Amino acid sequence: MSAEIISGTKMRQEILDELKKEVDEMKAKTGKVPGLVTILVGETPASVSYVTLKIKTAKSLGFHEIQDTQSVDITEEDLLALIEKYNTDPEIHGILIQLPLPKHIDDNKVLNAINPDKDVDGFHPVNVGRIMIGGDEAIFPPCTPAGIQEMIVRSGTETSGAEVVVVGRSNIVGKPIAIMMAQKGVGANSTVTIVHTRTKDLAGHCKRADILIVAAGVPDLVKPEWIKPGSTVIDVGVNRVGMNEKTGKAILKGDVDFEAAKEICGKITPVPGGVGPMTITMLMKNTVKSAWKHFGGK
């Protein structure tokens, strides 16, 4: 029997509907709404398109949204001063810097200048540390791992005591999701293994996984025979493998051989339409959470 498809597109809409209700509730209770600023330096087409999508989503939820586009020539000093302005702006609860930044600006220096209590991307070292501590400390989980965990929970997959294998150890996906799944708490309590390019028996580890999370960036890396029957497979990979001549759009593929895998596992995320749509959604969720925190709680 073919696996249940965990649709990120469908889940995104469910979560956005819930967030919209929460924003209305916040407005009724405090007279205020979440405030989000998106800082874009220069106008590279890919960055403009990401930022536009974030702004469109924020506006659809009724956020106070500022798009702050700066010239590609802005100095590091001026950019740091701009961040400081938003750090102290009481109407702003989330600050986003669209990466990559121009070469003359140090990405880390800029990201580290954001007030950790407004760092809704969850990239500030303080928030990385909070994720490591877990529990109530973990206020801003990074958005892609948060989306992965939300998909696992909402799909009804049991995580407590489950064998989770994470393929990949990047700072933005592999490491944080591994830590999050190993924490005490709902949607976690798993036994986690991280595998990477130096792992001796990649297939053997994957075969043990009740939940297999793959974030390697290698098309079709995970073969169907590596998948445990009935398991949940979360494919984070987004790989451009060609161009659709009719539409002019890139053909995308995940890290898992989806067609073959879906005949073996119990649940699986597609690419596209799986983890991808969840990332911006979780950014919105973090911003709502931040606003509540700044208003003293629900």
Closest distance to ligand NAP from the beta carbon of 32 (Å) = 30
* Binding segment (CB under 6 A) for ligand NAP, from list 60-68, 84-92, 101-109, 190-198: 190-198
Contacts of the segment 168-171: beta carbons below 8 A, 24+ positions apart = 168/194, 168/196, 168/214, 168/215, 168/216, 168/217, 168/236, 169/194, 169/196, 170/215, 171/128
Single-letter residue type at 220: D
Contacts of the segment 203-210: beta carbons below 8 A, 24+ positions apart = 205/165, 206/165, 206/167, 208/163, 208/165, 209/163, 209/164, 209/165, 210/158, 210/162, 210/163, 210/164
CB closer to ligand NAP out of 237 and 266: 237
Cα–Cα distance between 192 and 87 in angstroms, integer?
Answer: 36
* 200 in contact with ligand NAP (CB under 6 A): no
Three-class SS of residue 269? coil
Closest distance to ligand NAP from the beta carbon of 237 (Å) = 4
* 173 in contact with ligand NAP (CB under 6 A): yes
* Binding segment (CB under 6 A) for ligand NAP, from list 63-71, 95-103, 213-221, 242-250: 213-221
Query: For residue 100, is the peptide bond before it cis, meaning its omega torsion is within 30 degrees of 0?
Result: yes
User: Do residues 150 and 19 touch, judged by C-beta distance below 8 A?
Assistant: no
Instruction: For the beta carbon of residue 114, count every other beta carbon within 10 angstroms.
Output: 24
Among 217, 223, 252, 260, binds ligand NAP (CB under 6 A): 217
Q: Which of residues 80-109 bind ligand NAP (CB under 6 A)?
A: none
Closest distance to ligand NAP from the beta carbon of 147 (Å) = 7
CB closer to ligand NAP out of 218 and 260: 218
CB closer to ligand NAP out of 198 and 246: 198
Closest distance to ligand NAP from the beta carbon of 58 (Å) = 17
Cα–Cα distance between 52 and 98 in angstroms, integer?
Answer: 11
* 261 in contact with ligand NAP (CB under 6 A): no
Among all residues, which ones are annotated catalytic?
54, 98, 121
Among 20, 169, 207, 223, binds ligand NAP (CB under 6 A): 169
Interface with ligand NAP by CB under 6 A: which residues? 144, 167-170, 172-174, 195-198, 202, 215-218, 221, 236-239, 275-276, 279
